[in-house]
Amino acid sequence: MQYQRIHPKGPEFSRIIAGVWNWADETINERCIAAALDCGITTFDHADIYGGYTIEELFGRILKQHPGLRNKMQLVTKCGIKLKVDNKPEHRIKHYDTTYEHIIQSVETSLKNLGTDRIDLLLIHRPDPLLNPQEVAKAFEDLYEKGKVLHFGVSNFTSTQFEMLQSFLPMPLVTNQLEVSLFKSDYLFNGVSDVMMKHHVGIMAWSPLGNGKYFDDLEKMQTLGVLADKYKVSTAKLLFAWLLAHPANLFPITGTTKTERIQEAAAALDVKLGQQDWFAMLKIIKGFDVA
Amino acid sequence: MQYQRIHPKGPEFSRIIAGVWNWADETINERCIAAALDCGITTFDHADIYGGYTIEELFGRILKQHPGLRNKMQLVTKCGIKLKVDNKPEHRIKHYDTTYEHIIQSVETSLKNLGTDRIDLLLIHRPDPLLNPQEVAKAFEDLYEKGKVLHFGVSNFTSTQFEMLQSFLPMPLVTNQLEVSLFKSDYLFNGVSDVMMKHHVGIMAWSPLGNGKYFDDLEKMQTLGVLADKYKVSTAKLLFAWLLAHPANLFPITGTTKTERIQEAAAALDVKLGQQDWFAMLKIIKGFDVA
Amino acid sequence: MQYQRIHPKGPEFSRIIAGVWNWADETINERCIAAALDCGITTFDHADIYGGYTIEELFGRILKQHPGLRNKMQLVTKCGIKLKVDNKPEHRIKHYDTTYEHIIQSVETSLKNLGTDRIDLLLIHRPDPLLNPQEVAKAFEDLYEKGKVLHFGVSNFTSTQFEMLQSFLPMPLVTNQLEVSLFKSDYLFNGVSDVMMKHHVGIMAWSPLGNGKYFDDLEKMQTLGVLADKYKVSTAKLLFAWLLAHPANLFPITGTTKTERIQEAAAALDVKLGQQDWFAMLKIIKGFDVA
């Protein structure tokens, strides 16, 4: 495994991150945490809302059972979305909430559910059109001063949303978590990755293998498979390697509950993808020369 | 009424602004000026071209008849468009003109027509592809030094046009006047409002109720009406409240000639729209959850 | 001819630039170099790949035959594209390459082919998704320190790509070479020219007359012709004048091999296009009022 700072003043993360959004019971959490740590993945990506507000608590049970575990890992979580779910009858509509009160309250709940005294990295989950940057700044400052959150970032933000919020904060936003894969590479071409690179901000890449639907295009997958064979690796490893070869400092998040998939993701760091093959993969998916 | 600076170094405006584009005779001007001031609206939004270059002069007649009036109000006007109209035969085509000569000449004409010695805020009406930022800077500086214009801004500018012009000016652009309403909220989502917030620039919102055509969608208007009933206000007030709740520091411009509509706009400041209802209104118009 | 710096710290270029991409044999190069210099065009725009990696060497033969010539001109060249051509069997796919090694090697080859000890301006030919700004910075610094390249720029870059790369460089990027013409004026309206103006970066305009296909729209060309008649010039001159009238400091690149076309381009500087005619030309092509 490779460990590196996601930003010059940000936390040191494992280059492959375990995403827990789908770790739906205690057994899965116990097994997956162990599998991740075994292959050097030390960073775990949460959100308050995952599993309908249930995953943080399931994950936290394991931490409580194994007191030494917390210090071997970095915890990322998010706030700012309010889901319309049965256990939140006060939410009449799915909406965003980035008020001071909600950010503070959400972090307090995350800390309690996770059974920890600190979040390594807190993200605003999605850009809120009602986001008041001064309120967010105050919430971040208070959480930082009390040691409850060590670093801050955002998720699914455009460049202008990122730079606007940053301009009101005393600390750097250290990441922008975005959907990036060979199949959905928009952010690498629409200016967002440029702006993140300008700010030395690493990108946490969610859905790094695309979603299952892409695997239905048998012809393209077969052509990718031929290239994977050349490297003597699985197509999934090749897809991780494609992200890792990009200069924008991408940290792919595996979203799996399968032990062998976690191991596969971690092992992708050994694949050194050639420059021409990087363009060849893009051409396979886009259907035309990118150069 | 609420009064606030549109920019930290900008003028203090009434939060609701009276737009005079349609005040087509002297009687309307006399009645509407009185109605606006009566309910605390002290800021009036002009342009040289309104009414085919006629409104400033009609408005000015009232100021001349009531010498105390000028000091009770803030006057905004604009320059930079040349209309193809009968009384301007030298305009062979509708075009923009942001040359030094035209800006100076346009302001002199506005001062004379309005019967005042100063414009509180001058805007470049639309982005001119031939805009030479050094020329505009010289015109602004000369107008400022002579006390003829106290503050400067733009209208209908993109983010890059705004930042380009700003980079050549010694004084801050204090506003970007844009079309913003619940029905046309593009600028709140395409990055322009982010960039304005980053620069602490308040937005003057024209056509804040959309235009009449939206009111023809009876189903959507009815759904909005149900929400308005909950607040015990008119739909128009609710639409103003939607803008006022946004963190981008929006100053809605009423474009009406009706006394009761002016009063309604001013009273919208009393409506405190809830966060979930803000999202609910957006969902009604867009047809899908925005969060 | 008019000579001006393309950037405050950049080289002084002739306002009309000779593009050599199509100068396919030694005779053409000899004739066209003489024709260009005769009418004051002193700047020549190359790329390593022009003519399938052949033009620099053909041009260089003339420089070797006439030792005094090099000091009378400014040479621009480019690197960063790898073509799939017969004489480069190691290129399995057309792709970009902006690694340190390739930039250095490409410049060394250009210097040798051109028979000169220095490039006045080196451009990254197209934005490379794998561009590592630190590597490019190191290559630029090394080339600058050895006196092999005097100035640096880019070509076909978006605003964010430009600003990202610039943020890693100790020297200014002095140009962004872009396709700009009356027929393809996107960059003058989509924010790129704004950002270049903000950075005081002049734009080298390639394909300034559009390409031949536009001339097939007989109705539009006829309407342009009427305007050209008014100025007593050819339509081509009028098209150059349209670019020269824009405030973004455009340097049109002629791409011709015809002596009289080179002379025509140079003479376009004498045409002073009126403001209203500038808008009229845009309206002819776009089909609607731009103001």
Give per-residue pLDDT as tens, A75-110: 999 999 999 999 999 999 999 999 999 999 999 999
Q: Which of A27-31, A145-149, A285-289, B128-132 has the lowest mean pLDDT?
A: A285-289
pLDDT value of position A35: 98
Beta carbons of C129 and A282 less than 8 Å apart: yes
Q: What is the pLDDT of residue B228?
A: 96
Condensed to tens digits (0 to 9), the pLDDT of residues B277-286 reads: 999 999 999 9
C129·A283 Cβ contact <8 A: no
Quick one: DSSP state of residue A202?
B
Q: What is the pLDDT of residue A49?
A: 98
Q: Which of A3, A50, A144, A187 does the annotation list as catalytic?
A: A50
**B291 → closest Cβ in A81, A161, A163:** A81
Give the bridge partners for B79, in sequence order.
B124
Using an 8 Å CB-CB cutoff, list chain C residues near A245.
Answer: 130
Task: Name chain A contacts of B290, Cβ cutoff 8 Å.
Answer: 95, 129
> Is B197 close to A129, i.e. CB distance below 8 A?
no
Q: What is the mean pLDDT of chain B?
A: 97
Query: What is the average per-residue pLDDT within C174-198?
Result: 97
Q: Considering only the beta carbons, identify the residue of B93, B131, B167 that sits closest to C283.
A: B93
Task: Return the residue of A nearest to C126 by Cα.
Answer: A291
Does the beta-carbon distance from A280 to C93 stay under 8 Å? yes
Confidence class for position A217, pLDDT limits 50, 70, 90:
confident
Residue B3 has pLDDT above 90, yes or no: yes
- What average pLDDT does the structure give for chain A? 97
What does the mean pLDDT of chain C come to? 97
Q: What is the predicted pLDDT for the residue at B215?
A: 74
Nearest of C201, C199, C150 to residue C178 by alpha carbon: C201
Instruction: Please judge whether B278 and A92 are an interchain contact, meaning their C-beta atoms are less than 8 angstroms apart.
Output: no
Contact B96 C291 (CB under 8 A): yes
Which pLDDT score, from 0 to 100, does residue A214 have?
72
Q: What is the pLDDT of residues C140-166, one digit of tens each?
A: 999 999 999 999 999 999 999 999 999
Q: Which of A189, A194, A290 sits opposite C164 (nearest CB)?
A: A194
* A93–chain B Cβ distance below 8 A for any pair: yes
- Which of C5, C6, C112 has the alpha carbon at shortest distance from C53? C112
User: Could you tell me how far CA A95 lies from the centroid of its own chain?
Assistant: 21
**Annotated active-site positions of B, please?**
50
Name the token pair of A53.
Answer: 């507000």
pLDDT of residue C217: 85
ipTM, 2 dp: 0.96
Say whether residue B247 is in contact with chain A using an 8 A CB cutoff. yes
Of the pLDDT bands very low, low, confident and very high (cuts 50, 70, 90), residue A215 is confident
Residue C91 with chain A: CB contacts under 8 Å: 276
Higher pLDDT, C244 or B216: C244
Q: For position B129, what pLDDT does the model report?
A: 98
Q: Using CA atoms, how far apart are residues A49 and A155, in angstroms rounded to an integer?
A: 14
C231 is a catalytic site residue: no
Which neighbouring-strand residues pair with B5? B12
pLDDT of C275 above 90:
yes
The string of pLDDT tens digits covering residues B146-181 is: 999 999 999 999 999 999 999 999 999 999 999 999
Partner-chain contact C130 A247, CB within 8 Å: yes
List of residues 6+ apart from C219 with CB closer than 8 A: none
Range B3-216+247-271: architecture per CATH? Alpha-Beta Barrel (3.20)
**Site of tokens 């109000």:** B73
Contact flag B247-A133 (C-beta cutoff 8 Å): yes
Res C218: pLDDT: 87
Which is nearest to B59 in space by CA: B86, B88, B82, B32? B32
Is the model's pLDDT at B213 over the cut of 90? no
Q: Domain coordinates of chain A in residue numbers?
A: 14-212+249-255
Closest CA to C151 of C39, C266, C70, C43: C43
C200: pLDDT strictly greater than 80: yes
* C94 in A contact zone (CB under 8 Å): yes
Chain A residues with beta carbon closer than 8 angstroms to that of B197 = 133, 164
pLDDT band at B139 (very low <50, low <70, confident <90, very high): very high
Residue C261 near residue C18, CB atoms below 8 Å = no
140-179 of A, contacting C, C-beta below 8 A:
159
In sequence order, the 6+-apart residues with CB closer than 8 A to the CB of A32 are A18, A20, A23, A257, A259, A262
Q: How many CA atoms lie within 13 A of A265 on its CB side?
A: 31
Residue C247 has what pLDDT? 97
Residues of C with CB below 8 A from A159's CB? Answer: 160
* Rounded average pLDDT over C215-221: 85
Closest by CA to A129, choosing from B220, B245, B162, is: B245
**Per-residue pLDDT tens digits for C92-146:** 999 999 999 999 999 999 999 999 999 999 999 999 999 999 999 999 999 999 9
User: Are A191 and C158 within 8 A, CB to CB?
Assistant: yes
Q: What is the pLDDT of residues A249-280, one digit of tens each?
A: 999 999 999 999 999 999 999 999 999 999 99
Nearest to A177, CA basis, from A17, A12, A14, A2: A17
The answer to whether residue B46 scores a pLDDT higher than 80 is yes
pLDDT tens digits, one per residue of A1-19: 999 999 999 999 999 999 9
User: Distances in Å between the alpha carbon of B282 and those of A98, B206, B275?
Assistant: 17, 18, 11
Predicted local distance difference test score (pLDDT) of residue A97: 98
CB contact under 8 A, B133 and C191: no
d(C-alpha B254, C-alpha B39), whole Å: 13
pLDDT of residue A211: 78
Distance CA(B107)–CA(B119), nearest Å, equals: 8
CB atoms C275 and B99 under 8 Å: yes
Chain C residue nearest residue A242, CA to CA: C130
What's the CATH number for C3-216+239-273?
3.20.20.100
Alpha-carbon dihedral B183, B187, B190, B196, rounded to 10 degrees = -160
Closest CA in chain B for residue A167:
B198
Render pLDDT for A139-162 as a digit per residue (tens, 0 to 9).
999 999 999 999 999 999 999 999
- Give B45's pLDDT tier (boundaries 50, 70, 90): very high
Helix (H) or strand (E) holding A283: helix A275-286
The closest CB to that of C131, out of A189, A247, A279, belongs to A247
Confidence at C7, pLDDT banded by 50, 70, 90: very high
Interface test with A, best of C81, C91, C130, C155 (most A CBs within 10 A): C130
Subunits in contact with chain C (3 or more CB pairs closer than 8 Å)? A, B
| pLDDT average, residue stretch C13-24 | 98
Q: How far is B190 from chain C (nearest CA, A)?
A: 13
| Residues C278, B91: C-beta atoms closer than 8 Å | no
pLDDT of B270 reads 96
Q: Which residues of B fall within a CB distance of 8 Å from A137?
A: none
Nearest-CA distance from C167 to chain A in Å?
6
B94, B164, B167 ranked by CB distance to C291: nearest: B94
> What is the rounded distance in angstroms from the CA atom of residue A166 to the CA atom of residue A204?
18
- Among the partner-chain residues B195, B247, B276, the one whose CB lies closest to the CB of A95 is B276
Residue A218 in this model has a pLDDT that exceeds 90:
no
What pLDDT is recorded for position C214?
Answer: 72
Q: How far is the alpha carbon of A206 from chain B, nearest alpha carbon, in Å?
A: 18
Q: Could you confirm whether domain A14-212+249-255 is CATH 3.20.20.100?
A: yes
